[in-house]
Structure 1
Amino acid sequence: MAQRNDYLKSPDLLPISYKDRNIGALGFSVIWVGMAIVLAAFAIGAAGIIHLSMPILILATLVGSLTIGVFMVMIGDIGVEHGLSFPVYMRAPFGTIGTHLPSLIRGITASCWFGINTYFGALAINGILNILFDFDNWFVCFLFFAGFQLLNTSLGIKSIERFADLAAPIIILISCWMYVTLADQATASGKNVWTWVESPTTGMATFTAFMIVVMANMGFWATLAADMPSLSRFFKAPKHEKNWFKRNKTQLIGSLIVMPIVNTFMIVIGAVCYMAVSSGDPVAALQQSANGFILAILLLMIVLAQWSTNTSANVIPAATIFSNIGGPKVPFWVGVVIAGVIGTLSQPWSLFDILNSVLLIIGGILTAIVGIMFADYYLLRKRRLNVSDLYETTGQYKYMNGFNLAGLISWIIGGIVANLLPTYSSLVGFAVGALLYFILAKYWWFRKYPQKEITDPNDSEYLGITAGRDWVISPYEKPVTVSPELSPNLSAKTVK
């Protein structure tokens, strides 16, 4: 029978073993195609083209996408190396109880994104049904679409990859058709898509507009940058590989090549959408530029795009976080339902109009967390972790009643400073969070609460896949680790 102090060992939050990591470079790439084709990105393009020409908008988007992509890959190594999800790792820089505070922010944010994407998908479904059957009730479509997405996510990561394999090529083809159609419509109205700017700016005003697009793109993906371990723990990687780049090949291809390309294409479509119909709402734009069967096919692309984005980028991370907060009594599928309920109650149909402003705020808050994770994982622990203690209520990560004050203070100050400088919010949040945490943890907090992986820098003891190790955690007993290569005849077991 489970003991009261075993709430940290929910089965859904245990480390992923080497044999269960089944997402390769191609699989992650098609997942990224689905995630990056998201209609909310159109709002960034629509807002950016007001003050920037298309080439400058593309440059700003690539800068923002590549920068946040680097953050994703760096933090994603936590999942690749140790098989850990975001909320479990956060017990190290925030404490076994403190982890719930930033995790809850991430979970609620992901749930709201789920709601926004589901809303756009529902509008598209409603449009299709209206064309085919003269049906018109978007809220019923919203509830129907939300339920199917939550069911798909509950079936697990392989179900999501299979869906992405199916959806990705369809989405790419229809996206290209969509761009051509809207660009032709903009050209017909006398606008050159590569030179037109609604309100041209010069000097610092242009640079500010450029940086706002960069920060909006970073803020757009900051949630996933912090939470990448929840996905990367499923990625294939070679054992005993000490080369960081080779070990993270799956991530590098997906986050630094596929994502920037696809994300930039979505921003471009948002820009030509604004040129064509003076709106960044793609559903409205399509309904003005197409009709009949062609419109139904285009709207289907919107449905597939929102579905594939939500499962990987929003519902999985949110459900994992809610499962962590609730312990063994809240399995993953219950976390999925909670994410769906929050996403609906957020009234996403009211959020789209203020999206860019919200992205700058979210970017600063969440990249401060990314900075703290970077400093904790790379600068202080040197990628080593005492993983078994992450699942112990009385272990080294208990700190002061379950809280790491160095992490909490750094997060609060980093988030505040970032939002005092909104034009650079994501970069400021990362830098302040990382620097402040490094100083507070190294020279104050870890002197009060010594960390074994820092005082005993033994790679073979505290590294995961690099040392050929699977972390084996029992839900109800004290954990041990097993290194199959070193002890081939030793089976995974626990000791009381």
Structure 2
Amino acid sequence: MTTTAVTTTAPTQPSPRLYNEDLAPTTDRRWGAFSITSVWFACMHNMGQYTMAAGMMFVGLNPWAVIAGCFIGFCVTFVGSQLIGLAGQRYGISYPVLARASFGVYGANLPALIRAVVAVAWYGIQTYLASRAVIVLLLIIRPSWVALDQGGWLGLSPLGWIAFLGLWALQLVVVTHGIERVRKFQNYAGATISVVMLATGIVLLAKAGWHLDFAALGKPMSVGATINHMFTDAGMWIACYATLMLNMCDFTRMSPSRRAVTLGNFWGLPVNGVVFMALMVVNTVAASTLYHKAFTDPAELLSATGNHALIAIGALVFIFATIGVNVVANVVSPAYDLANAFPQKINFTRGALITCVLALLVMPWKLYSSTVAITYFLGTLGAVLGPLFGVIVTDYYLNRRGRLSVPDLYSDRPDSPYFFRNGWNPRAVAAFVPAALISAALTLVPALSGASAYGWFVGVGVAALLYRLFSLRSAPAPAVEPLVGALATD
């Protein structure tokens, strides 16, 4: 292990429009490999991901092909998370601050607020989905409350409002106590659901006589169709984790070393991903063998065991795990993104509070039930995350060779290398817009639906190529790393 000197303190005279204590390069380095691994556990081991993974099993795809396809996706996500994560770890900066180097000190609000809008919407939707699990649990405990799940106002029953607001308030307690509370919570949120699903698998396997009937999954595919589905599955997982991959430096900025980041991402993505998929395969096939039915809902699969204690514990764990992924994937980023837009008014805690309030005001149960909202609004925003990644990574690794002038990231002086033109980098915008349009077209145009799973790759590639070509016309901005403090890196 060596010691590399980098800037870890605030610039001498930062601009008030670009700086507050939460946006400053951090010196609090508590997010070790376990905490980074736990971020991925929380994001992978939840109801939504189990439903998505189980759905891949009933198209006739060989279970080994399912695992292989997902493994490819997890490996690509690992590489992407490393690229963004190591940049954050080296300089201790968050995603919107890193984006200032490529989009400009004010232009960074474009990628930051796009990520924030996506996160706010999904925060509300995840809270709503978890509230449905709360209702199931409450009705198991008090069947007489079924009348409270009828009628209501604004699209929710009285019991629906109780469950939703209860979960909303619980998450609010976690996220408004700072990033350290988030770390402690998510360290255990994802792992708990793995224990429950392992127990579920053992119960189902025992009932099935320890026999798995893979023929129950559907008609086998041809070799060509199998390969196509493998890469489609890989693309689906990459698109699913494109949000967290983009803002991975929000977490790794608090890691003590490059080794911690690498180990955390390695254990959390390819290793944990394979274990997750294997567990899902066993549970899904065991349930299909036993009940001759396709189970894609983990709550329904849990109920099939008939074990009331396991059902009750499982429901609580699913709720706990959903809160974990919600806090990690959908609160941390918008909290920093909103702080970046209004640093004098908003810090991390206020940004988290605003995120929670906005997630309530958008009435996520209506968003979730609207095909137009999910497909066209959130689908379009999600599609442009690849082009943002392409611009930021190309700028950092190819244009700047991994070197930044940290004080200038907080300066809006006209002579700052990141001020560009009135705080915006026209080259980044010119590369982003056409790449985003192409990615959105692959997502939204029915005639191109066959290539939709590869939209992230196309967006990254087009944005990276255009930005590199545009950047070659001018010399890269100078980078200076004042020797202030030292961080342990490998």
TM-score, structure 2 normalization: 0.81
SS for the counterpart of 1:12 is: coil
Name 1:213's counterpart in structure 2: 233
**CA–CA distance in 1 between the matches of 2:205 and 2:105?**
52
Which of 320, 325, 331 aligns to 1:315? It is 331
Which sits farther off after the overlay, 272-281 or 76-85? Answer: 272-281
Name 1:479's counterpart in structure 2: none
> Any residues of structure 2 matched to 1:95-134 within 5 Å, and which?
95-134=104-143
Name 2:398's counterpart in structure 1: 379
Name 2:178's counterpart in structure 1: 156
Q: How far 1:404 moved relative to its partner? A: 1.1
Pair 1:232–1:246, CA change in 2 (3 A): closer
**CA–CA distance in 1 between the matches of 2:120 and 2:271?**
24
Which of 30, 39, 49 aligns to 1:22? It is 30
Name 2:364's counterpart in structure 1: 347
> Any residues of structure 2 matched to 1:475-494 within 5 Å, and which?
482-483=484-485
**CA–CA distance in 2 between the matches of 1:291 and 1:362?**
42
Aligned 8 A contact 2:212 2:286 in 1: no
Q: Is the aligned partner of 1:426 residue 2:446? A: no
Q: How far 1:168 moved relative to its partner? A: 4.8
Name 1:328's counterpart in structure 2: 344
**CA–CA distance in 1 between the matches of 2:264 and 2:62?**
31
Pair 1:141–1:4, CA change in 2 (3 A): same
Residue ranges of structure 2 left out of the alignment (5+ in a row):
1-12, 147-158, 443-450
**CA–CA distance in 2 between the matches of 1:408 and 1:353?**
31
**CA–CA distance in 2 between the matches of 1:204 and 1:168?**
35
Name 1:49's counterpart in structure 2: 57
Q: How far 1:396 moved relative to its partner? A: 2.4
**CA–CA distance in 2 between the matches of 1:266 and 1:325?**
42
TM-score, structure 1 normalization: 0.80
Pair 1:226–1:274, CA change in 2 (3 A): farther
Code of the residue aligned with 1:365 in structure 2: it is V
Pair 1:166–1:484, CA change in 2 (3 A): closer
Q: How far 1:216 moved relative to its partner? A: 0.9
Q: Is the aligned partner of 1:403 residue 2:424? A: yes
Which sits farther off after the overlay, 430-439 or 272-281? Answer: 272-281
In the comparison of the two structures, how many residue pairs are matched? 444
Q: Percent identity?
A: 26
Name 1:69's counterpart in structure 2: 78
Q: Is the aligned partner of 1:370 residue 2:389? A: yes
Residue ranges of structure 1 left out of the alignment (5+ in a row):
238-244, 454-460, 464-468, 470-481, 486-496
RMSD, matched Cα: 3.2
> Any residues of structure 2 matched to 1:128-207 within 5 Å, and which?
128-134=137-143, 135=145, 137-181=159-203, 192=212, 194-198=214-218, 200-202=220-222, 204-207=224-227
Pair 1:403–1:62, CA change in 2 (3 A): same
Which of 280, 289, 308 aligns to 1:292? It is 308
**CA–CA distance in 1 between the matches of 2:365 and 2:395?**
35
**CA–CA distance in 1 between the matches of 2:286 and 2:369?**
16
Which of 442, 460, 466 aligns to 2:472? It is 442
Pair 1:66–1:266, CA change in 2 (3 A): farther
**CA–CA distance in 1 between the matches of 2:30 and 2:193?**
24
Pair 1:273–1:80, CA change in 2 (3 A): farther
